[in-house]
Structures are given as C-alpha cells and as structure tokens.
Amino acid sequence: MKALILAGGFGKRLRDELTFDLANIPKPLLPVAGKPVMEYIIKSIDGIEEIDNIYVLTIKKFEDNFNTWRKGYKAKKNIKLVYEPITHEFQDTGAIGGLGFFIGKTRIDDDLLVIAGDNLFTGFELKLFLDMGLTVKAPVIACFDMGNPEKLKEKYGEITLNNKKEIILFREKPKNPRSPLASTACYFFPKDTLGSVFDYLADKQNPTDAPGHFIKWLAQKDTAYGFPFPGQWFDIGSIESLEEANLFYRKNP
C-alpha cells in the first residue's frame, strides 16, 4: 500500500489572514505547536506496516519550501516528493486533478491512502480505518462526528450512512444538514478504483476541488463506505482553526 499526502493548493483565504512571516509558507508546512502540520500526519502513517512509501504531492511554486523541509526531516518510511507543474492560481486543477496527475505520473498499482496535508486528526486509529478498507474492498472516507448537524451548515460535506456504514447520501455544505457526520480529507482507495479518477475527470462538469466529490460519484456508481471516528479534527483552513490546533497540541504534545 502507498500513502499520498495532498500538499498543493494555494490556501489563499488563510494566507490573507496570516502574518507576513507565515504568509508564504504552504499550509502543510505551517507550524502547529512548533512542528509542521504535515509531520503529525506522517507520524500517524509511520507505524503502519502495510505502507511502504509515502508520497507528498505539491506544486512547483512550493518546490523550494518542500525541498528544504525534506532535507531536515527524518522519517521511518521513504518519502518521495512529487511536483505538479503549477506556479499560479489560474493553473490550479483542484485536489482531484492533482490526484489524477499523481496516478498518471507514478503509475501506481497499489491500494492508496490519501490524506490532505492541512488536516489533523486525533482519537482514531488510522490502522483500523485501513483495515476497514481492506475488508470491504471499496473506497472509504473518514467521517468526523460533529455531534450536532447544525455545525455542518454551509461549511462541511455531510455524509449519511446506513447500518452497514455504506454512504447513502453525500451533500456538500448543505443549508439544512440532517446528519452530524462531516466528511474529512482522509480516504482509502483500492487499487482497482484508481483508474476511475480519469473517468471522473473526463466529465468536465464534475467538481475537482475536493476528493470528497469523487467519493460521492463513486458511491452513486457502486458502493463506498464511511468510517466515523471520535476525538479531534482540525481542518486548517482559517486562522481560527490554526489557533485551535496550536492550543490543543501544546496541551497534548
């Protein structure tokens, strides 16, 4: 199995809120309690025996940032940097476009764990998540239980599951959410579903900004599953969420 950390994107909304010394740092390398966001993600992957390589997909604009980080970071597993040839926002292909670029460039033929490099998770075992994917042999998305559906309103993707944990409804940022399960940027894709990324991208009407849209599309075609988890989840998309993550990880190193 391979792991892919999505570390491209321009993060304009957050960048505009940051101080000058942080504004030009890509979100996955922003410090949380003194350590880049991405290193927390890598630490959670390092202990999973089935994963033999970790790929980091970013864009040409951030090549110097990531090369500098990689030279100074030691991990248990092999880390490979992959650069999408993007230097300006108008070239951005979205997360699913980036996923397609990665699959085409690396010709990967293994099951794939995909995690966005600006998401932090605590309180659930990544190994259990992957075990579910290997058992059902279908795409799985990690879902965070917000406790109250109103917390998802016009902000997060909403997932509704049946008693088998199959996704029966996926709505992006609904005005009237009914499920408390928020879609997170943590996905398991069996290797035989990876080619479907190109089918999805071939329809230019499909949104490409988040892999959750691809999961929704797959669930409508066949079967996809949700993996609800407790604990903490930080989507580093605003200065508030960055500050919340800093506070949490300082208290829980």
Q: For position 9, what pLDDT does the model report?
A: 82
Q: At what angle do helices 211-221 and 94-106 cross, to 10 degrees?
A: 80
**Nearest CA among 87, 78, 13 for reference residue 42:** 78
Domain span holding position 77 = 2-251
Which tokens go with 127?
């190994």
**Nearest CA among 75, 35, 77, 82 for reference residue 56:** 82
Q: For position 11, what pLDDT does the model report?
A: 72
The answer to whether residue 19 scores a pLDDT higher than 70 is no
For 90-128, the pLDDT digits (tens) are 898 899 999 999 999 999 999 999 999 999 998 788 999
**Distance, CA of 217 to CA of 100 (rounded, Å):** 15
For 199-242, the pLDDT digits (tens) are 999 998 898 888 888 988 999 999 999 999 988 999 888 888 99
**Distance, CA of 40 to CA of 46 (rounded, Å):** 10
pTM to 2 decimals? Answer: 0.94
CA distances from 57 to 14, 98, 117 (A): 20, 8, 9
Q: For position 14, what pLDDT does the model report?
A: 72
The answer to whether residue 18 scores a pLDDT higher than 90 is no
For 20-52, the pLDDT digits (tens) are 567 688 999 999 999 999 999 999 999 899 999
Which tokens go with 224?
């996809």
Cβ proximity of 85 and 61 under 8 Å: no
First-residue to last-residue Cα distance in the chain? 29
The string of DSSP codes covering 129-153 is HHHHHHHHTS-EEEEEE-SSGGGGT
**Nearest CA among 229, 250, 245 for reference residue 28:** 245
Please give the distance of CA 7 from its chain centroid, rounded to a whole number. Answer: 9
CATH number of the structural domain spanning residue 42: 3.90.550.10
Count of domains in the chain?
1
Q: Lowest mean pLDDT: which of 20-24, 57-61, 181-185, 227-231?
A: 20-24
